[in-house]
């Protein structure tokens, strides 16, 4: 969800050509204008339905996906590794595929009444159009995300047709192509299920809000605030990157948008103070990715979670608040240890903006955030209603900004009245249209990913695979809840190597969440789903689908694989946090008091910091192997709530601190001269 008005950075990367899935085509001429207008119309459709009422669910979803799928064939080339010229043109066959993709989904919109009357008895035309839609969704997901999502979806698609040949629990009676197409294409439990329903309403609303908010200029302001607060400390630019990305990520809800907006400023600054390029990119990647977990606007998966669980979004956001803040504090701890280990310096004093002056110079940027929080968490409106009012607020501020600029220009006589009003009106229009275009670029790939997730969910529902997984997990749970959770975390991270967050969460929420809840019925639903979401996000910066890492690497001029692995390393500092809030739901503000919350937050921060020290092999100085083992034990012990484990852990941590201080004093003490020469 990048701003179309972000110019070339000093790295030479044109950020206006980035989307949530990476670089997109930018052909010129009439074709370029047609593609641009298609994206604008798509965004305008969602802006209109936000304000004047949603269509019937199937009509809203089919209208949303039809144009989104077509745009994928126009935005993303078949081979994204070819030369740059591959992004300057659209071959004839992609135009044909885009038209066919639009028709295969819009068929549901046009034939809606007839389809409602014949659900369960698809015609031959239904089957053909459904098959075309599925194939084009798979190829579009390959273009947007690479082969992993397409391969996983294909594996699930094959399963209904071969179940009768599979022995044991995974076997089933088998299904005909008519039955599969009916389930996946003509009902609300497949392609047009919950995931695509959420993206066509809630998610698009917040993507639009974030796009307008960035055009307003908030990204640069938030980075300056972070520099003014943390720039004077060791490794200050990296710590500021974490803080700025947290601010921006909580609003944008997009890891790539966050990376390109804040990273275009923070990454060069980190490099200037001594961070290696891939480390600077990795810090920004981890910081931007974690923004999907931070309220008030979490990533698209959080809205899908609300639909899956039936829990109001404001409750999910409130429950996620403390774990999100702790994860960001833990990330700052990782950055601090990295800076201490490598001898990083703070920012030069003359480059650090004064906090109060910087804060009040852009205090108006907080108005849309306040409006959003008010309607979302206080008035408790639906997310798309809150998002709509926030969008109107930002648009009003964009208009006011142009009016004030017009007044200043006329007062200074920089331009005549007619010239100034014409230029400012044109500037407002460009801001508005450019934001719609950038929102479309962000949403096209997300729409396809959620449609693929819907296919997977539909297969699980049709075949009863979810019940099979529940039985397997129930057996594991009889051995250990910890092993059950650990297996779920590992599975989510493995899926994260190839699936985007939204698809990954939908798969895990369909297969794993019901199994965990069936095995441990006493666990709160929100705790289990946040556990799954957290690891879905944690894996989002890992190769080969860590697109945020590719964006950060482009800005840092670093290797994207190294950048992604460094980002994943920094995220690992908070690896045990989800275990903490599953074992102790007070983290999620469930049945607790504020004194208890303060105590468990303190122990959680200690545990995260100890794990960060283990990963960095550094505390006050380099850790010996036995010190590393003790600190790892402390980190694990603090997962389980209990006064005894907390006291023992604190004592062990203090012991390591003392030993480290003695080691430092010994290393810097001058050698003693012998008593007699």
- Report which of 425, 439, 390, 322 is spatially closest to residue 36, judged by C-alpha positions: 439
Which residues, in sequence order, are CB contacts of 206 under 8 Å at separation 6+?
253, 297, 383, 387
**Is the pLDDT assigned to residue 367 strictly greater than 60?**
yes
State the pTM of this model. 0.82
Q: Cα dist. 74→90, 96, 247, 275, 548 in Å?
A: 7, 10, 32, 38, 22
Residue 23 main-chain phi, psi, to 5 deg: -75, 145
**Is the pLDDT assigned to residue 498 strictly greater than 70?**
no
Of these ranges, 145-154, 485-494, 537-546, the one predicted with the greatest mean pLDDT is 145-154
- The DSSP bridge partners found for residue 622 are 618
E-strand spans in 16-163?
Answer: 18-19, 22-23
Measure the CA–CA gap between 536 and 605, rounded to whole angstroms.
22
Average pLDDT over residues 496-517: 79
What region, left, alpha or beta, does residue 347 occupy, with left being phi > 0 and alpha being psi -120 to 50 degrees? beta
> What pLDDT shows up at residue 111?
92
Average pLDDT over residues 160-178: 87
Band of pLDDT at residue 137, cut at 50, 70 and 90: very high
Average pLDDT over residues 573-589: 85
Which is more confident, 295 or 254? 295
Average pLDDT over residues 489-516: 79
Percent over 70 (pLDDT), the chain? 92
> What pLDDT shows up at residue 4?
33
Band of pLDDT at residue 2, cut at 50, 70 and 90: very low
> What pLDDT shows up at residue 11?
39
Band of pLDDT at residue 406, cut at 50, 70 and 90: confident
> What pLDDT shows up at residue 342?
83
Answer whether 488's CB lies under 8 Å from 532's CB. yes
Query: Minimum mean pLDDT among 325-329, 498-502, 635-639: which range?
Result: 498-502
E-strand spans in 105-158?
Answer: none
> What pLDDT shows up at residue 552?
86
- The DSSP bridge partners found for residue 18 are 23
Cβ count near 87 (within 10 Å): 18
Answer whether 524's CB lies under 8 Å from 470's CB. no
Measure the CA–CA gap between 670 and 400, rounded to whole angstroms.
66
**Is the pLDDT assigned to residue 624 strictly greater than 60?**
yes
Peptide bond into 296 cis (omega under 30): yes
Measure the CA–CA gap between 604 and 636, rounded to whole angstroms.
10
- Report which of 464, 458, 451 is spatially closest to residue 502, judged by C-alpha positions: 451
**Is the pLDDT assigned to residue 13 strictly greater than 60?**
no
> What pLDDT shows up at residue 497?
67
Across the chain, mean pLDDT equals 85
Query: Minimum mean pLDDT among 311-325, 490-504, 507-521: which range?
Result: 490-504
> What pLDDT shows up at residue 5?
35
What spatial distance separates the first Cα and last Cα of the chain, rounded to whole Å?
73
Answer whether 108's CB lies under 8 Å from 37's CB. no
> What pLDDT shows up at residue 557?
86
Which is more confident, 116 or 472? 116
How does pLDDT run across 204-235, given as a tens digit for each residue? 888 898 889 888 888 888 888 988 999 888 88
Band of pLDDT at residue 253, cut at 50, 70 and 90: low
Alpha helices, DSSP H, located in 253-312:
255-272, 277-289, 300-309
Band of pLDDT at residue 134, cut at 50, 70 and 90: very high
**Is the pLDDT assigned to residue 499 strictly greater than 90?**
no
DSSP β-ladder status, 18-19 and 22-23: antiparallel
**Is the pLDDT assigned to residue 154 strictly greater than 50?**
yes
Q: Cα dist. 253→211, 242, 563, 651 in Å?
A: 11, 15, 21, 39
**Is the pLDDT assigned to residue 424 strictly greater than 60?**
yes
Measure the CA–CA gap between 323 and 321, rounded to whole angstroms.
6
Measure the CA–CA gap between 216 and 195, rounded to whole angstroms.
30
Measure the CA–CA gap between 316 and 318, rounded to whole angstroms.
5
What DSSP line would sit under 314-344, residue for residue?
HHHHHHHHHHHHHHHHHHHHHHHHHHHHHT-
Residue 369 main-chain phi, psi, to 5 deg: -65, -40
Measure the CA–CA gap between 508 and 255, rounded to whole angstroms.
20
> What pLDDT shows up at residue 61?
95
**Is the pLDDT assigned to residue 14 strictly greater than 90?**
no
- Report which of 157, 166, 32, 18 is spatially closest to residue 88, judged by C-alpha positions: 32
Which is more confident, 560 or 655? 655
Check the CA dihedral 316-322-327-328 and report its sign.
Answer: positive
**Quick one: CA torsion of 537, 242, 556, 562, rounded to 10 degrees?**
-50
């Amino acid at each position: 969800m990048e701003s179309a008005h972000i110019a070339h950075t000093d790295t030479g990367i044109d950020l206006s050509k980035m989307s949530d899935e990476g670089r997109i085509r930018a052909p010129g001429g009439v074709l370029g204008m047609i593609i641009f207008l298609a994206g604008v119309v798509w965004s305008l459709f969602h802006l209109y339905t936000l304000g004047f009422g949603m269509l019937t669910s199937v009509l809203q979803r089919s209208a949303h996906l039809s144009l989104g799928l077509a745009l994928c064939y126009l935005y993303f080339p078949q081979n994204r590794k070819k030369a740059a010229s591959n992004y300057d043109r659209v071959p004839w066959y992609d135009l044909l595929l885009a038209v066919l993709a639009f028709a295969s989904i819009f068929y549901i919109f046009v034939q809606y009444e007839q389809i409602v009357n014949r659900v369960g008895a698809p015609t031959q035309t239904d089957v053909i159009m459904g098959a075309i839609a599925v194939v084009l969704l798979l190829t579009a997901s390959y273009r947007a995300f690479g082969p992993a999502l397409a391969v996983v979806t294909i594996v699930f698609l094959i399963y209904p047709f071969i179940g009768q040949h599979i022995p044991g629990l995974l076997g089933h009676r088998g299904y005909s192509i008519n039955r599969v197409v009916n389930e996946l294409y003509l009902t609300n439990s497949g392609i047009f299920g919950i995931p695509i329903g959420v993206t066509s309403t809630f998610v698009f609303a917040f993507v639009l809000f974030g796009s307008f908010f960035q055009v307003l200029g908030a990204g640069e302001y938030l980075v300056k605030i972070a520099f003014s607060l943390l720039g004077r400390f060791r490794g200050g630019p990296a710590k500021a990157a974490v803080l700025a990305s947290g601010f921006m990520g909580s609003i944008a809800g997009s890891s790539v948008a966050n990376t390109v907006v804040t990273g275009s400023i923070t990454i060069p600054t980190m490099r200037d103070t001594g961070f290696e390029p891939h480390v600077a990119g990795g810090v920004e990647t981890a910081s931007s990715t974690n923004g999907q977990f931070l309220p008030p606007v979490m990533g698209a998966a959080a809205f899908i979670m609300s639909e899956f669980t039936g829990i109001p979004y404001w409750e999910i956001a409130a429950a996620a608040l403390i774990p999100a803040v702790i994860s960001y504090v833990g990330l700052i701890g990782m950055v601090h240890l990295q800076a201490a280990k490598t001898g990083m310096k703070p920012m030069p004093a003359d480059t650090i903006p004064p906090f109060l002056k910087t804060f009040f110079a852009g205090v108006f940027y907080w108005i849309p955030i306040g409006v959003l929080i008010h309607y979302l968490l206080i008035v408790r409106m639906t997310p798309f209603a809150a998002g709509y009012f926030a969008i109107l607020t930002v648009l009003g501020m964009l208009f006011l900004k142009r009016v004030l600029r017009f007044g200043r220009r006329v007062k200074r006589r920089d331009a005549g009245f007619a010239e100034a009003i014409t230029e400012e009106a044109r500037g407002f229009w460009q801001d508005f249209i450019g934001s719609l275009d950038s929102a479309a670029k962000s949403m096209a790939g997300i729409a396809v990913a959620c449609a693929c997730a819907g296919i997977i969910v539909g297969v699980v529902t049709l075949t009863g695979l979810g019940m099979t997984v529940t039985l397997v997990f129930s057996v594991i749970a009889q051995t250990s809840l910890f092993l059950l959770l650990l297996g779920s975390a590992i599975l989510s991270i493995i899926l994260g190597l190839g699936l985007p967050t939204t698809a990954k969460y939908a798969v895990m929420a369909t297969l794993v969440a019901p199994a965990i809840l069936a095995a441990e019925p006493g666990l709160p639903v929100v705790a289990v789903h946040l556990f799954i979401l957290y690891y879905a996000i944690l894996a989002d910066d890992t190769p080969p689908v860590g697109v945020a890492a590719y964006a950060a690497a482009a800005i840092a001029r670093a290797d994207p694989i190294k950048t992604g692995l460094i980002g994943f390393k920094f995220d690992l500092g908070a690896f045990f946090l989800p275990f903490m809030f599953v074992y102790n739901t007070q983290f999620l503000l469930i049945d607790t008091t504020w004194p208890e919350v303060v105590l468990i937050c303190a122990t959680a921060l200690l545990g995260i910091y100890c794990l960060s020290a283990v990963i960095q092999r550094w505390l006050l100085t380099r850790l010996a192997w036995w010190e590393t083992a003790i600190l790892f034990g402390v980190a694990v012990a603090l997962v389980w709530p209990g006064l005894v484990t907390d006291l023992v852990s604190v004592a062990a941590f203090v012991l390591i601190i003392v030993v480290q201080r003695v080691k430092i004093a010994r290393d810097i003490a001058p050698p003693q001269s012998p008593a007699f020469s």
